[in-house]
Amino acid sequence: MSFFEKLFANKETETGMDSRNIPQHVAIIVDGNGRWANRRGMPRNYGHREGSKNLKKIVKICSEIGVRYLTVYAFSTENWKRPKTEVDALMALLLEYLKNADVELEGENIKIRVIGEKKELSEEIKKEIHKVEESTKNNSGLTLTIALNYGGRDEIVSAVRAIGREIKKGVINPEDIDEKYISQRLYTADIPDPDLIIRTSGEKRISNFLLWQSAYSELWYSDVLWPDFRREHLIQAIRDYQKRNRRYGGI
């Protein structure tokens, strides 16, 4: 065992995690930016910026401890209902994150992809999505999936429409459709379903996030607001995950 492997092993021992049972796919509903800012007498947009900074830290920590896939709920289809000033600020932050992600995560070997309905996004954001996906597509480390203008129901509707078109063309018969066939027409077709879904800020809802994919995910809720979510909270979530018996309907 090399020096760095020993160092990593010791770090794992200190946290109490089982390094052989790290969830392959962690999904996070990043929530509480606005409340975090309000409690400090700051505008909500300040909280979103701090939340964006924290995401970069958590991505690196997930990569370090062996998570293979990380999916974050950055902007939902329902978030368009927020005040225009806040939506505009969120979009500007997302654009900034996409522009700088491959540089700030350079050396981390992270692949970045974006899921969601892109037609409502600005041309500038769509351009940056294409750019960052292309520049990181050959990376073999953690895959960071950003759910942007994403809604679980919309995703399922989109898949059903695609299957309907295939039936109309005679590509498949309705009787041949199974769970695998549907899964392959979702945005997440090329990644495994999440093992662990974390939601911050004390809310205990899925909020239209990965509805199909979360059928057997373990759920973990934290009262900590997203900008304050640290390494120790992530490790606590994984330790709790490791104590659970995932039976998938069996005994």
Q: Where are the domains of the chain?
A: 23-151+192-243
The answer to whether domain 23-151+192-243 has CATH 3.40.1180.10 is yes
Q: What is the pTM (predicted TM-score) of this model?
A: 0.91
Tell me the per-residue pLDDT of 86-112, one tens digit each, with 9 for 90 and over. 999 999 999 999 998 877 887 789 999
Tell me the per-residue pLDDT of 80-90, one tens digit each, with 9 for 90 and over. 999 999 999 99
Confidence check: pLDDT of 6 > 50: no
CA atoms within 13 A on the CB side of 107: 1
Mean pLDDT of 143-147: 97
Confidence check: pLDDT of 13 > 70: no
Q: Taking all residues of the chain, what is their mean pLDDT, rounded to a whole number?
A: 92
Which amino acids are annotated catalytic? Answer: 31, 79
CA dihedral over 148, 152, 155, 157, signed as positive or negative:
negative
- Strand segments (E) across 48-142: 69-76, 111-115
Owner of token pair 């973990």: 220
Under DSSP, the state recorded for 79 is G
